[in-house]
């Protein structure tokens, strides 16, 4: 069991800055995020795009902003559970919380802060009959352990970088490997596309181009993947595994079931301190909503500061917090 | 004025009208009209959540740029006429179109 003062769900820019604001008040933070790296959509979707509305930066690349935030919070020693989605929230009789992740990690905290953007990033699923029946019985949306596919017949679907990268990797692992792509060529990373084509020329990969997934075969366990070509003809590829790699998309996920007041995929908060209807649970950044809400990183930063002061008072009832300027007090460890 | 017919993800449909404006996108109009468009990346062709398909009309629109093409390639639910609405400017080429909101297929 991980024990901390504040459990922050979401390690995007707002979740990271919340560590700073809580740290100034000597509150320790643990962050949990479904993505394997910090930064949320800034690192997942647009790391190389410039942002122009961060005060003090005429222009900053999204990825650089995250690097700077990590440096800014380093003195406060935050800890992380990355690549884990939050599943449940339990409030104990003594008022403390236990957050449990998809991997079974338990985080005990006095306050929970939801800074989850638009939710946790989950794999996009193809629209296919019987898909759910075969999930974890042949259909895998991520390659967690490549050894699972050793000497197996594998079909990868998708034409993005991730599909191409795993095709190159698994060509040496699987007994048979096919890649199904709706176009006649690969337009992602040219180097990787060329590698896949070279592997196909050596007979290590079968290219199934101008085709889309159309069906799954098997009983209990996947045995075949049906594809339909642009000319409407179909074929069935023998398969132990299908790996659809169509990227990631955020979903609110289990948070929606926690008893929070939700309005259109966002958590309703009180703008005095960004608290939710559950005492001790706060929501900051893009995941919250209130009259006049603007989904801007700079608004999330402001919300972090007010949340931290309120969380301090929640944890230490009756104690008065004196606002201290960092210019006066400095930051220990910097 | 530009008039289009929009079919939402739940199958409900209505007509909307707006002025031509090259500095605004179709995604912005659909969001403003409260259709089921998440537009998570805010218009950078980075998330696929504003994915729509033209069921008719839309001829003469700008060609698909690389960023949009790569994102469409990664979506599991693309069809003939698929576009990202964030990449479509509000021009008269949209007038009379019939579009269906598809989202990113999750």
Domain ranges of chain A: 2-121+248-329, 125-244
pTM of the shown model = 0.80
SS (H, E, C) chain A: CEEEEEEEECCCHHHHHHHHHHHHCCCCEEEEECCCCCCCHHHHCCCCCEECCECCECCEEHHHHHHHHHHHHHHHCCEEEECCCEEEEEECCCCCEEEEECCCCEEEEEEEEECCCCCEEEECCCCCCCHHHHECCCECCCCCCHHHHCCCEEEEECCCHHHHHHHHHHCCCCCEEEEEECCCCCCCCHHHHHHHHHHHHCCCCEEEECEEEEEEEEECEEEEEEEEECCCCEEEEECCEEEECCCEEEECHHHHHCCCCEECCEEECECCCCECCCCCEEECHHHEECCCCCCCHHHHHHHHHHHHHHHHHHHCCCCCCCCCCHHHHCCCCC
**CATH number among 3.30.70.1520, 3.30.70.60, 3.30.465.10, 3.50.50.60, domain A2-121+248-329:** 3.50.50.60
pLDDT tens for A22-50 read 999 999 999 999 998 999 989 988 888 89
The predicted pLDDT at position A333 comes to: 72
Q: B74 at the A interface (CB within 8 A)?
A: yes
Instruction: Note the CATH architecture for domain A125-244.
Output: 3-Layer(bba) Sandwich (3.50)
pLDDT tens for B69-86 read 888 888 888 888 999 999
pLDDT tens for A132-151 read 999 999 999 988 789 999 99
Evaluate whether A2-121+248-329 and A125-244 have a shared fold: yes
Inter-chain Cβ pairs, chain A and chain B, closer than 8 A: 69
CB contact under 8 A, A249 and B47: yes
Q: B31 at the A interface (CB within 8 A)?
A: no
Query: B-chain residues within 8 Å CB-CB of A48?
Result: none
Q: Which of A80, A26, A18 is nearest to A297 (CA)?
A: A18
Q: B33 at the A interface (CB within 8 A)?
A: no
Mean pLDDT of A202-231: 96
Distance from CA of B43 to the nearest CA of A (A): 11
CB contact under 8 A, B40 and A159: no
The predicted pLDDT at position A188 comes to: 67
Confidence of residue A289 (pLDDT cuts 50, 70, 90): very high
The one-digit pLDDT tens for each residue of chain B (106 residues) are 999 999 999 999 999 999 999 999 999 999 999 999 988 888 888 888 999 999 999 998 888 887 888 888 888 888 889 999 999 999 999 999 999 999 987 6
pLDDT tens for A87-103 read 999 999 999 999 999 99
Q: B65 at the A interface (CB within 8 A)?
A: no
């Amino acid at each position: 069991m991980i024990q901390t003062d504040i459990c922050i769900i979401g390690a995007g820019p707002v979740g990271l800055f919340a560590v700073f604001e809580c740290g100034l008040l000597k509150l320790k933070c643990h962050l949990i995020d479904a993505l394997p790296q910090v930064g949320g959509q800034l690192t997942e979707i647009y790391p190389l795009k410039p942002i122009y509305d961060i005060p003090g930066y005429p222009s900053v690349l999204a990825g650089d902003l995250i690097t700077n935030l990590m440096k800014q919070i380093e003195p406060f020693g935050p800890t992380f559970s990355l690549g884990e989605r939050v599943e449940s929230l339990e409030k104990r009789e003594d008022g403390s919380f236990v957050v449990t992740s998809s991997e079974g990690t338990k985080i005990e905290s006095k306050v929970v802060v939801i800074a989850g953007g638009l939710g946790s990033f989950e794999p996009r699923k193809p629209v296919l009959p019987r898909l759910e029946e075969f999930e974890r019985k042949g259909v895998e949306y991520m390659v967690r352990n490549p050894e699972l596919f050793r000497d197996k017949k594998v079909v990868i679907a998708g034409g993005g970088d991730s599909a191409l990268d795993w095709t190159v990797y698994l060509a040496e692992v699987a007994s048979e490997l096919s890649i199904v792509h709706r176009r006649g060529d690969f337009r992602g990373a040219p180097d990787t596309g060329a590698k896949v084509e070279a592997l196909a020329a050596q007979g290590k990969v079968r290219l199934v181009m101008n085709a889309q997934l159309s069906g799954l075969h098997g009983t209990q366990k996947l045995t075949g993947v049906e594809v339909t070509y642009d000319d409407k003809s179909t074929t069935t590829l023998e398969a132990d595994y299908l790996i659809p790699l169509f990227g990631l998309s955020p979903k609110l996920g289990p948070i929606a079931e926690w008893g929070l007041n939700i309005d259109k995929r966002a958590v309703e908060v009180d703008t005095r301190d960004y608290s939710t209807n559950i005492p001790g649970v706060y929501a900051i950044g893009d995941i919250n909503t209130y009259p006049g809400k603007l989904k801007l990183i700079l608004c999330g930063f402001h919300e972090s500061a007010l949340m931290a002061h309120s969380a301090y008072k929640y944890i230490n009832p009756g104690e008065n917090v004196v606002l201290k300027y960092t210019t006066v007090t400095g930051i220990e460890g910097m | 004025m530009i008039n289009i017919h929009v079919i939402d993800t739940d199958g409900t449909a209505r007509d909307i009208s707006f002025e031509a404006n090259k500095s605004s996108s179709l995604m912005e109009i659909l969001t403003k009209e409260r259709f089921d468009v998440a537009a998570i990346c805010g218009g950078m062709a980075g998330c696929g959540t504003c994915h729509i398909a033209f069921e008719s009309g839309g001829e003469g629109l700008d060609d698909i740029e690389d960023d949009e093409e790569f994102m469409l390639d990664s979506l599991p639910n693309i069809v003939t006429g698929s576009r990202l609405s964030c990449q479509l400017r509000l021009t008269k080429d949209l007038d009379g179109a019939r579009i269906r909101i598809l989202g990113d297929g999750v």
